[in-house]
Amino acid sequence: MSGQGEQSQDVVDAKPSDNTDAKPSRGASAGKFPVTTGDGEPIMSAEEFFADEYKMDYPQRGRAIIINNREFDRGLGLGERTGTDQDASSLQMRFMDMGFEVDLYNNLVAGEMQKVLVKAAADDNYNRISDCFACAILSHGEEGVVFGTDAKIEVKQLLEPFKGNNCKGLLGKPKLFFIQACQGMQFDSGVNVNAVDAKGQMELERQITVHKIPSEADFLIAYSVVPGFYSWRNSANGSWFVQALSDVLAKNWRDMDLLTIMTRVNKKVAYEFESKTGKDFMNQKKQIPCITSMLTKEVIFKPKK
C-alpha cells in the first residue's frame, strides 16, 4: 500500500528506460489557450479538442484513395481478383457522395502504393483544410500484409506516413483505412444458431493547453476479415465486405457515427453472406470483418453545405 505522503504520478506498466516521470498535462498547466502540438504550433481550439465528435466543417471533406489491385505478377502465384472493379466503382461513388475527393489507382506495385500514400500524407496545405482522410485497399493479402502487383507490403508501413508525428495536417483528425484482403488461409465454417421470437416460434467546454496527443491516435483500420482467415469475393458482385460497406454507408453516412456503421457492416457480412462454390470443402463458409479503432471521438459525416 502506498504511503500517505507519496505523491501521485503516472507510470508505464514496464521497466522504465530512465527516471523521467510521466506527468498528466492538467492541473497547474490549465489555461485559456488553444490545443497545440508538441512544438507549440496551434492545431485546434480547446473546445474542438475536448468535443465528443470530430470537427466535420472544414472547407474540404478530404481525400479518399482507392488502390485496386486486380492482376499480379505470375511469379507470385496469385490469381486475378475478378469482381474487384465492381468494389472500386462502388466505393468511388460512395466516397464522392460523401464529399471526398477520390483518387482511384489500378494495379500498383508495392513501391507505388507506398509512394501514393506518402504523397497524400505530405500534402499539408490540403490536409489542414480537410475533415479527414480515407483509403481503401483492394488486393490479395496475408496476416498483416497486402500485395502490390509485384510483392507484399506491411499494412503498418502504409499507415506510418499518417501518424501524428509524421502528418501534422491530419493531426487530431480521423484517418480511415478499409482493407479488403485475406488475412490467412483458414475457412470459417460458422455455427448454427436458432433464433426464437417472443411467441416461441423459430425464425432465423473546457479550455486547457494540451501539448501532445498520441501519434497512433485517430486511426480506424477496418479489415474485411479477422486475422488468419480467407476473405470472400464474388466474381460478379465484388467482395462481401465492400458490398456490405457500400450498402450501409449509402443508408446511414449522413447521421450515424462510423463505429456504429461498421458494426452494421459486421452484422451484414456475418448474417447475409455464405459461400457457394463448385468445391464442397469451400461451400457454406462464413466471414466476419475486424475493426481496429484508435479513434478518440465519434465520426459523423454531416453533409457539406
Please, which residues bridge with residue 64 across strands? 102, 134
Q: Is 167 a catalytic residue?
A: no
Angstrom distance (rounded) from CA 205 to CA 186: 49
Strand pairing partners for 35?
A: 44
Please answer whether residues 140 and 181 qualify as being in contact, where contact means their C-beta atoms are separated by less than 8 angstroms: yes
Residue 265's alpha-carbon distances to 163, 181, 236, 261, 303, in angstroms, are 26, 16, 20, 6, 21
CA distance 222 to 240: 13
Q: What's the residue count for the chain?
A: 305
From the candidates 132, 140, 167, 211, give the one annotated as an active-site residue: 140
User: Please, are residues 274 and 266 in contact by the beta-carbon 8 Å criterion?
Assistant: no
What DSSP state is assigned to residue 202?
Answer: B
182 is catalytic: yes
Catalytic residue among 135, 182, 211, 290: 182
Q: Where in the sequence numbering do the catalytic residues fall?
A: 140, 182
